[in-house]
Amino acid sequence: MKRFGVLLCAAMLAGAARYETNSPASEAFIQPIEGLDGEHAASFRKGSGIFRQAWVIGPSQDHPDFVGLGPLYNRLSCIACHVKNGRGAAPDSENGVARTMAARLSVEGKDAPGGPRVHPDYGAQLNPEGVPGVAGEGQAVVDYAGFDVALSDGATVRLRRPTLAFRNLAYGPLGPETKTSLRNAPPVFGLGLLESVADAEILAGAGRPNFVFTVETGQRTLGRFGLKANQPNLKQQIANAFVEDIGITSSLFPAESCAPTRSECRRGVSTPELTDAQLDAVVNYIRALAPPARRNLDDPRVKDGDVLFHDIGCS
């Protein structure tokens, strides 16, 4: 199948109207770029279905193509965290469980490919859920401490500072040497446009580029996906999310994402639970999701925000 990247490049050359969507807010994150032909549109629809599908432990007569959940996982589907293709949400209440966020864990040192060294008992990520016979690892909870901030115009606003804690840990305390990072599930639209940006352009504006291990080639290449640019391409980013968040193996990641000391988690998987065809469909779906167009451009608050955005260096 012809790569969606060709269509994305054509859309960029044709102007913003081709790759942005003006759909209503409730549908703003689920629209494809314009110009998909029948083959690409069919792949987009297939990928959309897989992205929304809840996986099961198995076997299943109702969903035979979506078997293999766990043994450890965060949620049953991609859409459960990337709600309506948008971001997850931090808990509203104090001591709330982080349900659409991932708690990343590491200890001092590097693994063989050069990435963070995973926690020996809990792995790279705390998975709160487990299939029968495998205990969920625990829960990440968020508390808030309020504090006041005086603004330059004399106004005072009340802000909240989040603090991360863990409870119901199945294998004992994490240990004082453990590094933790709570990460919200990011929106998934517009990633095909990022994929189409040349390495040279990213390097020209990058203060500290991240070069990461590419599974398919065994080489280190420029990272551009993930909250810390720790994945080199969409295919690897998506396959990694399937295995770490849902426990679904693939040809890129054929082994379950289990901690080194957790033998009960390491079940044998003879074939990938996510087929190459399914993975390609999800990649094509994410690649073709259009970003929403900017709205309310004449609103004075939007104009003020635009000025501030540039003044503080975000652009």
Residue 84 structure tokens: 């309506």
* CA distance from start to end of the chain: 36
Helix ranges restricted to H, 127-251: 191-195, 199-205, 234-241
| Cα separation, 140 vs 124, whole angstroms | 14
Q: Which of 35, 131, 223, 311 is nearest to 303 (CA)?
A: 311
Over residues 11-68, the pLDDT tens digits come to 555 554 467 888 888 889 999 998 899 999 999 999 999 999 999 998 888 999 999 9
Rg (CA), the chain: 21
| Cα separation, 186 vs 190, whole angstroms | 11
Q: Tell me the longest C-alpha to C-alpha distance in the chain.
A: 65
Per-residue pLDDT of the chain (315 residues; tens, 9 = 90+): 445 556 565 555 555 446 788 888 888 999 999 889 999 999 999 999 999 999 999 888 899 999 999 999 999 999 999 999 999 999 988 789 999 999 999 999 988 777 889 999 999 999 999 999 999 999 999 999 999 999 989 999 999 999 999 999 999 999 999 999 999 999 999 999 999 999 999 999 878 899 999 999 999 999 999 989 999 999 999 999 999 999 999 999 999 999 988 888 877 667 899 999 999 999 999 999 999 998 899 999 999 999 999 999 887
Q: Which residues contact 182 (CB under 8 A, 6 or more apart)?
A: 98, 101, 102, 103, 104, 140, 142, 162, 164
Residue 140 structure tokens: 């990440």
- Domain assignments of the chain as residue spans, ordered by start: 4-311
Is the pTM value of this prediction over 0.85? yes
